[in-house]
Amino acid sequence: MDWLLTPGSGASAAALRAEVTAFLRRHAEQPDDVDDARLVVSELVGNAVHHAGGPVWVSLDWSQPRPLLTVHDLGPAFELGGLSLPETASERGRGLWLVSQLAKDLDVIAKRGPGKRVQVVLALTRRAEASFDPPRRQLNPLPAADEAGPGGFGKEAFLRALVVELARSTEAAQGPAVAEQLVAQVGATVGGQMEEEYRQARAVAGRLTPEQVADCYLRLKGAIEGDFYVISAGPDKIVLGNRHCPFGDTVRQAPALCRMTSSVFGGIAARNHDDAVVLLDERIAVGDPECRVTVLLGEAARTNPGGHHYRAAP
């Protein structure tokens, strides 16, 4: 789940805290245990709003038994140091010390450009159930009026709007789990066709090597005006960077669209290496200056518990 908080104000932070807390309460195994998590959310979001200014993105990854909460902002990073209970008269440092007592693995990670992400593992476990939790929307990610030319909106703006609104409408009607499945299926299907085009263009038969898989990624993303490049490609994993999202600035208002990249990359990798895991390590969608995507292959994917998992069809 991803939320965008803008503008950064006390009122909007309180509304976001209430929504994240409600999500946790709906899906926690013990709803009465959510109060500590609510304080953690409140402190981290409040700090981002107070010290960073600008947009704040909140991500919650509950693919593991305990949820990982990440708060992204564009403010300066800082060192945690040794957290201890501040002096009684001190007005600073209490929030992070409290977070460190109520949750685990508190960490501050500087982005490669301006900004940071603060992440922590919440002391909750999730019930085994489907999720139906449409996030609130404050911004419209559809094309702005100034994108139109003399004859109206162009094909690119229209198709982008179509994809975004289909995903949003599905999410509103049936929940983000269904929307995510839809986006993943679309990405896998389109990725399969793009792989076939790559094979014809390069005259490749049989399984693609990791280097060929990476080359296929660059070809298909370049065709839709992404700016991906290969950082490394080996037998166990492929690491890519990206300087420009095909969805443009829209993706900062709809971070869930990153799942499209995940499913395209994961589907191609799994078809050629049986199993794949895609890790979205950095995302333009949450304020990072570039994207960084790691694709684990074969045994490395099977033994990795996180990320988006993909398996070749029988």
pLDDT score, position 134: 38
Among the four given CATH numbers 3.40.50.2300, 3.30.1380.20, 3.40.1190.10, 3.40.190.80, the one describing domain 148-311: 3.30.1380.20
From the number of C-beta atoms within 10 Å of its C-beta (0-12, 13-18, 19+), residue 313 rates as exposed
Taking residues 227-239, report their average pLDDT.
96
Domain spans of the chain, in order of start: 2-121, 148-311
From the number of C-beta atoms within 10 Å of its C-beta (0-12, 13-18, 19+), residue 4 rates as buried
pLDDT score, position 248: 80
Strand ordering across the sheet containing 56-61: 2-5, 56-61, 68-73, 116-121, 104-110
As a whole number of angstroms, the distance between CA 132 and CA 289 comes to 31
Q: Tens digits of per-residue pLDDT, 29-49?
A: 887 789 999 999 999 999 898
Q: Tens digits of per-residue pLDDT, 105-131?
A: 999 999 988 899 999 999 998 776 544
Taking residues 218-240, report their average pLDDT.
93
In angstroms, how far is CA 221 from the centroid of its own chain? 18
pLDDT score, position 297: 96
The pLDDT-based confidence of 137 (bands split at 50, 70, 90) is very low
Mean per-residue pLDDT over the chain, rounded: 83
**For residues 244 and 90, which has the higher predicted lDDT (pLDDT)?**
244
The pLDDT-based confidence of 258 (bands split at 50, 70, 90) is confident
Tell which residue, 305, 307, 310, 240, has the closest CA to residue 276.
Answer: 310
HEC secondary structure over 22-77: HHHHHHECCHHHHHHHHHHHHHHHHHHHHHCCCCEEEEEECCCCCCEEEEEECCCC
CATH assignment of 2-121? 3.30.565.10
pLDDT score, position 249: 78
Q: Tens digits of per-residue pLDDT, 139-172?
A: 454 566 666 677 776 777 777 777 777 766 776 6
**For residues 279 and 186, which has the higher predicted lDDT (pLDDT)?**
279
